Structure 1
Amino acid sequence: DPKLKVVLKEFPVLGPSSVEAAQVGVAVRMQDPSGKKYLDFHQKLLNGKGQADKARSMAAARDAGADMARLEKDLTSPEVRATLEESFKLAEAMGMNGTPSYVIGKQVVIGAVGVETLREKIGIARCGKATC
Protein backbone atom coordinates (compact mmCIF):
# COMPACT_ATOMS: atom_id res chain seq x y z
CA ASP A 1 0.00 0.00 0.00
CA PRO A 2 1.94 3.06 -1.21
CA LYS A 3 -0.25 5.39 0.88
CA LEU A 4 0.62 3.64 4.12
CA LYS A 5 3.32 5.09 6.33
CA VAL A 6 4.99 2.57 8.62
CA VAL A 7 7.07 3.76 11.56
CA LEU A 8 8.87 1.07 13.51
CA LYS A 9 9.67 1.83 17.14
CA GLU A 10 11.87 -0.37 19.28
CA PHE A 11 9.77 -1.44 22.28
CA PRO A 12 11.59 -4.13 24.29
CA VAL A 13 9.06 -5.65 26.66
CA LEU A 14 10.32 -9.22 26.96
CA GLY A 15 13.14 -8.73 29.44
CA PRO A 16 16.89 -8.09 29.30
CA SER A 17 17.47 -9.98 26.03
CA SER A 18 14.75 -7.92 24.40
CA VAL A 19 16.44 -4.71 25.60
CA GLU A 20 19.76 -5.86 24.14
CA ALA A 21 18.13 -6.63 20.79
CA ALA A 22 16.42 -3.22 20.79
CA GLN A 23 19.72 -1.48 21.55
CA VAL A 24 21.27 -3.19 18.52
CA GLY A 25 18.27 -2.18 16.43
CA VAL A 26 18.56 1.48 17.41
CA ALA A 27 22.31 1.42 16.74
CA VAL A 28 21.73 -0.09 13.28
CA ARG A 29 19.19 2.63 12.52
CA MET A 30 21.64 5.33 13.62
CA GLN A 31 24.04 4.36 10.84
CA ASP A 32 21.41 3.84 8.15
CA PRO A 33 19.73 7.05 6.90
CA SER A 34 17.91 5.17 4.13
CA GLY A 35 16.38 2.61 6.51
CA LYS A 36 17.21 -0.28 4.14
CA LYS A 37 19.74 -1.98 6.43
CA TYR A 38 17.46 -1.37 9.40
CA LEU A 39 14.57 -3.12 7.66
CA ASP A 40 16.87 -5.94 6.53
CA PHE A 41 18.17 -6.26 10.10
CA HIS A 42 14.63 -6.66 11.46
CA GLN A 43 13.63 -9.16 8.80
CA LYS A 44 16.71 -11.27 9.52
CA LEU A 45 16.17 -11.06 13.28
CA LEU A 46 12.45 -11.77 13.24
CA ASN A 47 12.67 -14.57 10.69
CA GLY A 48 15.39 -16.37 12.65
CA LYS A 49 14.88 -19.01 15.30
CA GLY A 50 15.17 -18.49 19.01
CA GLN A 51 14.89 -15.53 21.31
CA ALA A 52 15.97 -12.11 20.06
CA ASP A 53 19.03 -11.38 22.17
CA LYS A 54 22.32 -9.55 21.70
CA ALA A 55 24.11 -12.43 19.93
CA ARG A 56 21.30 -13.00 17.40
CA SER A 57 20.84 -9.26 16.95
CA MET A 58 24.53 -8.69 16.30
CA ALA A 59 24.55 -11.52 13.76
CA ALA A 60 21.50 -10.02 12.02
CA ALA A 61 23.17 -6.59 12.01
CA ARG A 62 26.34 -8.04 10.49
CA ASP A 63 24.31 -9.91 7.87
CA ALA A 64 22.45 -6.68 7.05
CA GLY A 65 25.76 -4.93 6.38
CA ALA A 66 26.11 -2.81 9.51
CA ASP A 67 29.46 -1.29 10.44
CA MET A 68 30.13 -3.55 13.42
CA ALA A 69 32.88 -1.44 14.99
CA ARG A 70 30.61 1.60 15.00
CA LEU A 71 27.71 -0.54 16.21
CA GLU A 72 29.68 -1.75 19.25
CA LYS A 73 30.55 1.86 20.08
CA ASP A 74 26.99 3.12 19.61
CA LEU A 75 25.34 0.42 21.76
CA THR A 76 26.09 2.26 24.98
CA SER A 77 25.59 5.77 23.60
CA PRO A 78 23.25 8.32 25.14
CA GLU A 79 21.34 8.40 21.83
CA VAL A 80 20.45 4.69 22.04
CA ARG A 81 19.37 5.06 25.66
CA ALA A 82 17.31 8.20 24.90
CA THR A 83 15.63 6.56 21.90
CA LEU A 84 14.48 3.60 23.98
CA GLU A 85 13.31 5.87 26.81
CA GLU A 86 11.29 7.88 24.28
CA SER A 87 9.67 4.69 22.96
CA PHE A 88 8.64 3.64 26.46
CA LYS A 89 7.18 7.08 27.23
CA LEU A 90 5.27 7.13 23.96
CA ALA A 91 3.93 3.60 24.51
CA GLU A 92 2.84 4.45 28.04
CA ALA A 93 1.07 7.61 26.89
CA MET A 94 -0.81 5.60 24.25
CA GLY A 95 -1.68 2.72 26.57
CA MET A 96 0.52 0.19 24.77
CA ASN A 97 1.78 -2.64 26.92
CA GLY A 98 2.94 -5.24 24.44
CA THR A 99 4.06 -5.98 20.95
CA PRO A 100 3.11 -5.86 18.27
CA SER A 101 1.14 -2.67 18.69
CA TYR A 102 -0.13 -0.39 15.96
CA VAL A 103 -1.42 3.15 15.73
CA ILE A 104 -3.86 3.37 12.86
CA GLY A 105 -5.35 6.81 12.53
CA LYS A 106 -6.41 7.66 16.06
CA GLN A 107 -6.83 4.05 17.16
CA VAL A 108 -4.32 1.92 19.05
CA VAL A 109 -4.41 -1.76 18.14
CA ILE A 110 -2.50 -4.14 20.41
CA GLY A 111 -1.59 -7.68 19.51
CA ALA A 112 -1.01 -9.84 16.46
CA VAL A 113 -4.47 -9.23 15.02
CA GLY A 114 -3.70 -10.39 11.48
CA VAL A 115 -3.51 -8.73 8.10
CA GLU A 116 -7.26 -8.63 7.43
CA THR A 117 -8.01 -6.88 10.72
CA LEU A 118 -5.23 -4.37 10.02
CA ARG A 119 -6.67 -3.70 6.54
CA GLU A 120 -10.10 -3.11 8.07
CA LYS A 121 -8.68 -0.71 10.67
CA ILE A 122 -6.81 1.18 7.93
CA GLY A 123 -10.01 1.43 5.89
CA ILE A 124 -11.90 2.78 8.88
CA ALA A 125 -9.17 5.36 9.50
CA ARG A 126 -9.19 6.42 5.84
CA CYS A 127 -12.85 6.51 4.93
CA GLY A 128 -14.91 5.46 7.96
CA LYS A 129 -15.61 1.90 6.79
CA ALA A 130 -13.69 -1.36 6.57
CA THR A 131 -13.35 -1.20 2.78
CA CYS A 132 -12.99 2.12 0.98
Structure 2
Amino acid sequence: MTIATLFRRGALCAALFVGLAAAVPTAVAAQAAREVTKADFYVPGIAPTRAPKGYDVTVVYFTDYQCPVCRQHSDDVLRAFAEDRKLRVIFRDSPIFGAQSLTAARLATAAHMQGKYVAFHTQLMRTKGKLTDARIREAADLAGVDWARLQKDLAANASRIDALVDWNNRLSKAGGISGTPAFVIGEVLADGGMDYASLKAEIADARARIVRAR
Protein backbone atom coordinates (compact mmCIF):
# COMPACT_ATOMS: atom_id res chain seq x y z
CA MET A 1 0.00 0.00 0.00
CA THR A 2 1.42 3.36 -0.97
CA ILE A 3 1.36 6.58 1.03
CA ALA A 4 -1.29 8.04 -1.25
CA THR A 5 -3.75 5.29 -0.24
CA LEU A 6 -3.86 6.32 3.43
CA PHE A 7 -7.21 8.00 2.91
CA ARG A 8 -9.60 6.87 0.22
CA ARG A 9 -13.33 7.53 -0.04
CA GLY A 10 -15.01 4.70 1.82
CA ALA A 11 -11.74 3.08 2.88
CA LEU A 12 -11.03 2.51 6.57
CA CYS A 13 -7.41 1.44 6.29
CA ALA A 14 -4.65 1.59 8.88
CA ALA A 15 -1.64 2.21 6.66
CA LEU A 16 1.74 2.99 8.18
CA PHE A 17 4.28 5.54 7.00
CA VAL A 18 8.03 5.77 7.52
CA GLY A 19 10.61 8.49 7.11
CA LEU A 20 8.64 11.27 8.79
CA ALA A 21 10.73 11.65 11.95
CA ALA A 22 11.32 15.33 12.64
CA ALA A 23 10.99 17.99 15.30
CA VAL A 24 7.28 18.06 16.14
CA PRO A 25 5.01 19.59 18.79
CA THR A 26 5.17 18.21 22.33
CA ALA A 27 1.96 16.21 21.99
CA VAL A 28 3.38 14.22 19.06
CA ALA A 29 7.07 14.25 19.94
CA ALA A 30 7.04 10.55 20.84
CA GLN A 31 5.83 9.75 17.33
CA ALA A 32 8.99 11.11 15.74
CA ALA A 33 10.95 8.00 16.66
CA ARG A 34 8.54 5.47 15.16
CA GLU A 35 6.38 4.82 12.15
CA VAL A 36 3.57 7.32 11.69
CA THR A 37 0.01 6.05 11.57
CA LYS A 38 -3.27 7.49 10.41
CA ALA A 39 -4.08 8.22 14.04
CA ASP A 40 -1.46 10.99 14.02
CA PHE A 41 -3.73 13.14 11.86
CA TYR A 42 -6.11 13.37 14.81
CA VAL A 43 -3.57 14.34 17.49
CA PRO A 44 -3.86 18.14 17.69
CA GLY A 45 -0.74 19.02 19.65
CA ILE A 46 -0.87 22.82 19.70
CA ALA A 47 -2.89 22.98 16.49
CA PRO A 48 -5.97 25.20 16.91
CA THR A 49 -8.83 22.87 17.69
CA ARG A 50 -12.54 23.14 18.40
CA ALA A 51 -13.67 20.12 20.40
CA PRO A 52 -17.22 20.33 21.77
CA LYS A 53 -18.16 17.91 24.51
CA GLY A 54 -19.54 14.68 23.09
CA TYR A 55 -18.29 15.25 19.51
CA ASP A 56 -18.82 12.30 17.19
CA VAL A 57 -16.93 13.27 14.01
CA THR A 58 -13.56 14.94 13.50
CA VAL A 59 -12.60 17.07 10.51
CA VAL A 60 -8.92 17.78 9.92
CA TYR A 61 -8.75 20.91 7.77
CA PHE A 62 -5.64 21.77 5.71
CA THR A 63 -5.42 25.34 4.38
CA ASP A 64 -3.14 28.05 3.03
CA TYR A 65 -4.07 31.72 3.49
CA GLN A 66 -3.10 32.60 -0.09
CA CYS A 67 -4.90 29.65 -1.67
CA PRO A 68 -7.63 31.05 -3.97
CA VAL A 69 -9.92 28.06 -3.48
CA CYS A 70 -9.48 28.17 0.30
CA ARG A 71 -10.50 31.82 0.24
CA GLN A 72 -13.43 31.19 -2.08
CA HIS A 73 -15.04 28.63 0.21
CA SER A 74 -13.79 29.79 3.61
CA ASP A 75 -16.99 31.45 4.81
CA ASP A 76 -19.03 28.41 3.79
CA VAL A 77 -16.62 26.05 5.55
CA LEU A 78 -16.55 28.05 8.78
CA ARG A 79 -20.35 28.36 8.72
CA ALA A 80 -20.70 24.57 8.45
CA PHE A 81 -18.23 24.09 11.29
CA ALA A 82 -19.91 26.66 13.55
CA GLU A 83 -23.39 25.19 13.09
CA ASP A 84 -22.40 21.64 13.96
CA ARG A 85 -22.32 21.15 17.72
CA LYS A 86 -21.12 17.54 17.46
CA LEU A 87 -18.11 18.22 15.25
CA ARG A 88 -14.48 18.43 16.30
CA VAL A 89 -12.28 20.49 13.97
CA ILE A 90 -8.48 20.42 13.89
CA PHE A 91 -7.12 23.34 11.86
CA ARG A 92 -3.84 22.46 10.14
CA ASP A 93 -2.29 25.50 8.49
CA SER A 94 -0.21 24.05 5.68
CA PRO A 95 1.57 26.93 3.89
CA ILE A 96 2.57 26.07 0.33
CA PHE A 97 2.25 29.46 -1.39
CA GLY A 98 5.47 31.04 -0.19
CA ALA A 99 6.97 33.11 2.60
CA GLN A 100 3.93 35.24 3.40
CA SER A 101 1.76 32.14 3.69
CA LEU A 102 4.24 30.81 6.24
CA THR A 103 4.25 34.12 8.12
CA ALA A 104 0.45 34.13 8.25
CA ALA A 105 0.32 30.50 9.42
CA ARG A 106 2.79 31.18 12.24
CA LEU A 107 0.93 34.28 13.39
CA ALA A 108 -2.47 32.59 13.19
CA THR A 109 -1.23 29.78 15.41
CA ALA A 110 0.13 32.31 17.89
CA ALA A 111 -3.25 34.08 17.85
CA HIS A 112 -4.82 30.87 19.15
CA MET A 113 -3.00 31.55 22.42
CA GLN A 114 -5.22 34.57 22.96
CA GLY A 115 -8.36 32.84 21.72
CA LYS A 116 -8.40 34.65 18.38
CA TYR A 117 -7.46 31.94 15.90
CA VAL A 118 -10.81 31.56 14.13
CA ALA A 119 -11.35 35.32 13.96
CA PHE A 120 -7.86 35.90 12.54
CA HIS A 121 -8.19 32.91 10.20
CA THR A 122 -11.46 34.36 8.90
CA GLN A 123 -9.98 37.79 8.18
CA LEU A 124 -6.87 36.34 6.54
CA MET A 125 -9.07 34.26 4.24
CA ARG A 126 -11.07 37.37 3.33
CA THR A 127 -7.95 39.31 2.33
CA LYS A 128 -7.85 40.33 -1.32
CA GLY A 129 -4.68 39.83 -3.34
CA LYS A 130 -1.32 38.58 -2.18
CA LEU A 131 -0.54 38.76 1.50
CA THR A 132 1.83 41.47 2.67
CA ASP A 133 2.95 42.44 6.14
CA ALA A 134 0.50 45.34 6.04
CA ARG A 135 -2.43 43.14 4.96
CA ILE A 136 -1.65 40.58 7.64
CA ARG A 137 -1.59 43.33 10.26
CA GLU A 138 -4.88 44.69 8.93
CA ALA A 139 -6.46 41.25 9.21
CA ALA A 140 -5.23 40.98 12.79
CA ASP A 141 -6.73 44.35 13.64
CA LEU A 142 -10.08 43.42 12.09
CA ALA A 143 -10.04 40.19 14.11
CA GLY A 144 -9.43 42.05 17.36
CA VAL A 145 -6.00 40.48 17.87
CA ASP A 146 -3.75 42.11 20.46
CA TRP A 147 -0.73 42.68 18.20
CA ALA A 148 1.78 43.28 20.99
CA ARG A 149 0.74 40.10 22.76
CA LEU A 150 0.78 38.24 19.44
CA GLN A 151 4.44 39.13 18.92
CA LYS A 152 5.31 38.01 22.45
CA ASP A 153 3.45 34.71 22.08
CA LEU A 154 5.08 34.09 18.72
CA ALA A 155 8.57 34.72 20.11
CA ALA A 156 7.99 32.61 23.22
CA ASN A 157 6.60 29.67 21.24
CA ALA A 158 8.52 29.98 17.97
CA SER A 159 10.06 26.52 18.03
CA ARG A 160 6.75 24.82 18.84
CA ILE A 161 4.88 26.78 16.18
CA ASP A 162 7.52 26.09 13.52
CA ALA A 163 7.46 22.40 14.45
CA LEU A 164 3.69 22.33 14.10
CA VAL A 165 3.73 23.93 10.65
CA ASP A 166 6.37 21.45 9.53
CA TRP A 167 4.33 18.59 10.97
CA ASN A 168 1.18 19.75 9.20
CA ASN A 169 2.99 19.78 5.87
CA ARG A 170 4.44 16.33 6.52
CA LEU A 171 1.04 14.93 7.39
CA SER A 172 -0.33 16.45 4.19
CA LYS A 173 2.38 14.77 2.14
CA ALA A 174 1.94 11.47 3.96
CA GLY A 175 -1.78 11.46 3.28
CA GLY A 176 -1.27 11.96 -0.44
CA ILE A 177 -2.90 15.38 -0.26
CA SER A 178 -2.20 17.25 -3.49
CA GLY A 179 -2.76 20.80 -2.25
CA THR A 180 -5.11 23.02 -0.32
CA PRO A 181 -7.83 23.02 0.76
CA ALA A 182 -8.17 19.45 1.94
CA PHE A 183 -10.35 17.79 4.55
CA VAL A 184 -10.04 14.52 6.37
CA ILE A 185 -13.66 13.96 7.39
CA GLY A 186 -13.91 11.07 9.77
CA GLU A 187 -11.55 8.66 8.07
CA VAL A 188 -12.04 9.78 4.48
CA LEU A 189 -10.05 12.33 2.47
CA ALA A 190 -11.98 15.01 0.61
CA ASP A 191 -9.28 16.75 -1.39
CA GLY A 192 -10.30 20.11 -2.87
CA GLY A 193 -12.74 22.96 -2.35
CA MET A 194 -16.23 22.37 -1.01
CA ASP A 195 -19.14 24.72 -0.59
CA TYR A 196 -21.48 24.68 2.41
CA ALA A 197 -23.86 22.01 1.10
CA SER A 198 -21.10 19.70 -0.07
CA LEU A 199 -19.25 19.86 3.23
CA LYS A 200 -22.44 19.25 5.21
CA ALA A 201 -23.14 16.22 3.05
CA GLU A 202 -19.64 14.81 3.59
CA ILE A 203 -19.98 15.22 7.35
CA ALA A 204 -23.37 13.51 7.25
CA ASP A 205 -21.82 10.64 5.30
CA ALA A 206 -19.12 10.32 7.97
CA ARG A 207 -21.80 10.03 10.65
CA ALA A 208 -23.66 7.45 8.62
CA ARG A 209 -20.48 5.36 8.31
CA ILE A 210 -20.10 5.43 12.10
CA VAL A 211 -23.66 4.17 12.53
CA ARG A 212 -23.16 1.39 9.97
CA ALA A 213 -19.94 0.30 11.68
CA ARG A 214 -21.62 -0.24 15.06
Q: TM-score, normalised by structure 2?
A: 0.52
Q: How much has 1:105 moved relative to structure 2?
A: 1.1
Q: Which has the higher contact order (CA 8 A, sep 6+)?
A: 2
Q: Aligned to 2:127, which of 18, 39, 48?
A: 48
Larger fraction in strand: 2
User: Which range moved further: 103-112 or 72-81?
Assistant: 72-81
Percent identity of paired positions between Structure 1 and Structure 2: 38
Q: Which structure 1 segments of 5+ residues have no match?
A: none
Q: Aligned to 2:113, which of 30, 40, 45?
A: 30
Q: How much has 1:47 moved relative to structure 2?
A: 1.6
Cross-structure match for 1:64: 143
Q: How much has 1:94 moved relative to structure 2?
A: 1.7
Cross-structure match for 1:95: 176
Name the larger-Rg structure. Answer: 2
Q: TM-score, normalised by structure 1?
A: 0.80
Deviating 4+ runs (over 4 angstroms): none
Q: Aligned to 1:18, which of 88, 92, 101?
A: 101
Q: How much has 1:64 moved relative to structure 2?
A: 2.0
Q: Which structure 2 segments of 5+ residues have no match?
A: 1-83, 210-214
Cross-structure match for 2:75: none
Q: Distance in 1 between matches of 2:169 and 2:151?
A: 23
Q: How much has 1:11 moved relative to structure 2?
A: 1.0
- Deviations 1:27-66 (CA, angstroms, capped at 9, x unpaired): 111332xxxx211111112123122343322221233222
Q: Aligned to 2:196, which of 94, 109, 115?
A: 115
Cross-structure match for 2:186: 105
